[in-house]
C-alpha cells in the first residue's frame, strides 16, 4: 500500500481516538483505567507519526493536549511551542489557534517561565480580547513585573467576566495599593477577604491601606490581629510599633517590637529593624542598659547598619557613667539638679550661693552663683550645654552677652562636646573658661564624692 495512504489512515485513526477521548473526558474520571489506556494508545500513535515528521501539526496537537491534561507542563509546553511556530506560519484545519497559544502560555506559567507565558497569552488575547483567563493571567504577570498600571487595566477586563472572583479582586487591590491608591485598593481587598478570609497577606495589605489613608485606628486593629501570625506577625509588629512610636506611645511600641522578636524564622531585614527600633525606643526611655544588647546583636549581624556603631560607642560610655547619662539625657529637673551639684562643688572650700537659673529649652542651662573663698569673692556664671557635638562661636557669644547683662565677673562654659576654633579664639581676651569633654567627664566622675564630702 502507498506510504502516504498508510500515513493518512494512521492519522485518521489517531484523530478518531483523540476525539473519542475528548468526548469521554467528562464521563470518566481521570484515573479510569479505560481512559488511561485509550490515552496511551493515542499518545503512542501520535508519537509514531512525529518520528516520521516532527512537525506534524495534528500529531503535535494530540501529544500536547494529552500532556496538558496530564499536567505534564514541561512536555506540554515544548509540544505547544513547536505547534505555535507551525500555525503562526499558516492555519491548520481543526486546530484552534486561541487554544494553542492559551495552553502554551498556561504551561509556561506553571513552569514559572514568564517570558514565554506572556508571549502565549498576548497572542491568545489577539484572538479573544475579553477572555477571562487570558486577561487574568496577563494581569498577574504585569503585577509580578511591577507594571501596576497595565495590571489594573487587564484585571479590570477579567473582573467584567467574573466580578466576584477572589483572585482577581485580590490582585487588583494589591496593584492599586502599589499605585498609591489606598482607598480604591481597600474596596477590592475587603471583598477578596470576605471571599477568602484566610488570606493573611491581603489582610496585612488592607492594614497598610488604612495607614496610607490616615485611618490609623483601623490599621492598628488589623496589625494587632496579625501580630501572632507566624508569617505576617513580625512585619505587623514592626509597623504597629512604628505607628505607636510616631505618636509617642513608647511603652506600647516596645511591647509591639518585643512581640515581633518572639517569632521564629524572622526575615533578616525585619529582625534587624525590630531590634533597632526596640533599642532606640528603649534609649528614649533612658533604658540604656536594656538597649545595648540589641545594638550589639545588630552590629554582629550587620556592622554598617544605620548609625548602630555610633549609638553603641555613645551609649556604652553613657551607661558606664550615670552622671554623664543624666547630663545628656535626663529630664530637665534631673539635669538642673546635677548642674547645681557641679556649681556647689566646683570651687574647693568655697561658700556658694545660687542666685538664678535660666533654662533654654533642652539645649543649655545658665546658673548664676555668688562665690566666696578665702582669697576672693565674685559673681560666676555657669553655662551647661547638653551636646556631644561641636559648640560654635555663636553660643559662646550669647553666653558672653548674658555675663555682661548680669554683671558676672567670670564665665565657665561646660560641654560634653568640643568647641570650634572660632569659639576658642573668641574667648582669648575674655574671662570665660571653656570646659570640654575630658574635663567635664572628670568633674562628673568625682561629683558624687565631692557632694558627699560637702554634706559632711
Rg (CA), the chain: 39
The pLDDT value recorded for residue 45 is 79
In whole angstroms, give the CA distance from residue 287 to residue 45.
79
Is the domain defined by 227-320 classed in CATH 3.10.20.580? no
Q: How far is CA 319 from CA 94, 148, 388, in A?
A: 83, 50, 15
Instruction: Look over the chain and give the mean of its residue pLDDT values, rounded to a whole number.
Output: 89
Beta bridge partners of 370: 353, 379
Q: How far is CA 120 from CA 60, 79, 334, in A?
A: 17, 13, 72
What are the extents of the domains in the chain? 227-320, 331-455
Q: What is the pLDDT of residues 76-129, one digit of tens each?
A: 999 999 999 998 888 888 889 999 999 999 999 999 999 999 999 999 999 999
**DSSP letters for 260-310:** HHTSSS--HHHHHHHHHHHHHHHHHTT-HHHHHHHHHHHHHH-TTSTTHHH
User: Does the pLDDT of residue 451 top 80, yes or no?
Assistant: no
User: pTM for this structure?
Assistant: 0.70
The pLDDT value recorded for residue 43 is 76
CATH of the structural domain 331-455, one choice from 3.90.550.10, 3.40.50.920, 3.40.1350.10, 3.40.50.720: 3.40.1350.10
Higher pLDDT, 189 or 58: 189
For 202-209, the CB contacts below 8 A with 24+ separation are: 202/170, 202/173, 202/174, 203/232, 204/232, 204/235, 204/236, 205/173, 205/174, 205/177, 207/236, 207/239, 208/177, 208/182, 208/239, 209/177, 209/182, 209/183, 209/185
Q: What is the pLDDT of residues 120-167, one digit of tens each?
A: 999 999 999 999 999 999 999 999 999 999 999 999 999 999 999 999
The pLDDT value recorded for residue 7 is 47
In whole angstroms, give the CA distance from residue 414 to residue 364.
10
Among left, alpha and beta (phi > 0; psi -120 to 50; other), residue 361 is left
Q: Strand ranges (DSSP E) for 313-430?
A: 351-360, 364-372, 377-385, 390-391, 410-415, 418-419
Cβ-contact 192, 169 below 8 angstroms: yes
C-alpha cell at 230: 507566624
Amino acid at each position: 500500500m502507498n506510504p502516504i495512504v498508510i500515513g493518512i489512515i494512521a492519522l485518521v485513526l489517531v484523530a478518531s481516538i483523540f476525539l473519542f477521548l475528548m468526548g469521554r473526558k467528562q464521563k470518566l474520571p481521570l484515573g479510569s483505567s479505560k481512559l488511561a489506556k485509550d490515552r496511551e494508545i493515542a499518545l503512542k500513535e501520535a508519537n509514531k507519526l512525529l518520528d516520521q515528521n516532527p512537525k506534524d501539526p495534528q500529531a503535535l496537537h494530540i501529544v500536547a493536549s494529552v500532556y496538558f491534561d496530564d499536567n505534564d507542563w514541561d512536555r506540554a509546553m515544548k509540544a505547544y511551542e513547536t505547534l505555535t511556530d507551525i500555525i503562526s506560519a499558516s492555519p491548520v484545519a481543526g486546530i484552534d489557534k486561541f487554544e494553542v497559544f492559551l495552553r502554551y502560555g498556561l504551561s509556561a506559567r506553571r513552569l514559572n517561565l514568564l517570558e514565554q507565558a506572556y508571549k502565549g497569552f498576548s497572542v491568545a488575547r489577539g484572538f479573544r480580547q475579553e477572555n477571562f483567563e487570558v486577561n487574568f493571567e496577563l494581569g498577574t504577570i504585569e503585577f509580578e513585573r511591577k507594571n501596576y498600571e497595565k495590571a489594573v487595566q487587564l484585571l479590570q477586563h477579567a473582573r467584567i467576566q467574573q466580578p466576584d472572583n477572589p483572585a482577581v479582586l485580590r490582585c487588583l487591590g494589591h496593584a492599586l495599593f502599589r499605585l498609591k491608591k489606598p482607598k480604591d485598593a481597600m474596596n477590592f481587598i475587603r471583598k477578596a477577604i470576605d471571599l477568602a478570609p484566610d488570606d493573611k497577606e491581603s489582610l496585612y495589605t488592607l492594614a497598610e491601606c488604612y495607614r496610607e489613608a490616615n485611618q490609623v485606628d483601623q490599621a492598628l486593629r488589623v496589625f494587632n490581629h496579625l501580630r501572632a501570625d507566624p508569617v505576617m506577625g513580625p512585619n505587623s509588629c514592626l509597623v504597629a510599633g512604628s505607628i505607636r512610636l510616631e505618636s509617642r506611645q513608647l511603652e506600647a511600641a516596645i511591647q509591639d517590637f518585643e512581640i515581633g522578636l518572639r517569632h521564629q524564622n524572622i526575615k533578616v531585614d525585619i529582625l534587624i529593624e525590630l531590634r533597632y527600633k526596640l533599642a532606640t525606643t528603649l534609649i528614649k526611655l533612658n533604658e540604656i542598659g536594656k538597649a545595648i544588647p540589641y545594638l550589639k546583636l545588630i552590629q554582629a549581624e550587620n556592622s554598617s547598619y544605620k548609625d548602630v556603631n555610633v549609638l553603641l560607642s555613645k551609649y556604652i560610655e553613657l551607661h558606664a557613667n550615670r552622671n554623664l547619662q543624666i547630663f545628656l539625657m535626663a529630664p530637665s529637673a534631673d539635669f538642673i539638679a546635677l548642674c547645681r551639684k557641679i556649681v556647689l562643688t566646683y570651687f574647693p572650700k568655697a561658700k556658694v550661693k545660687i542666685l538664678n537659673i535660666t533654662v533654654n529649652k533642652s539645649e543649655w542651662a545658665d546658673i548664676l552663683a555668688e562665690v566666696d573663698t578665702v582669697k576672693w569673692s565674685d559673681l560666676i556664671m555657669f553655662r551647661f550645654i547638653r551636646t556631644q557635638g561641636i559648640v560654635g562661636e555663636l553660643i559662646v557669644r550669647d553666653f558672653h552677652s548674658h555675663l555682661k547683662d548680669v554683671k558676672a565677673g567670670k564665665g565657665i562654659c561646660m560641654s560634653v562636646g568640643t568647641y570650634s576654633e572660632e569659639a576658642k579664639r573668641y574667648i582669648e581676651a575674655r574671662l570665660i573658661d571653656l570646659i570640654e569633654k575630658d574635663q567635664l567627664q572628670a568633674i562628673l566622675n568625682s561629683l558624687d564624692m565631692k557632694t558627699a564630702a560637702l554634706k559632711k
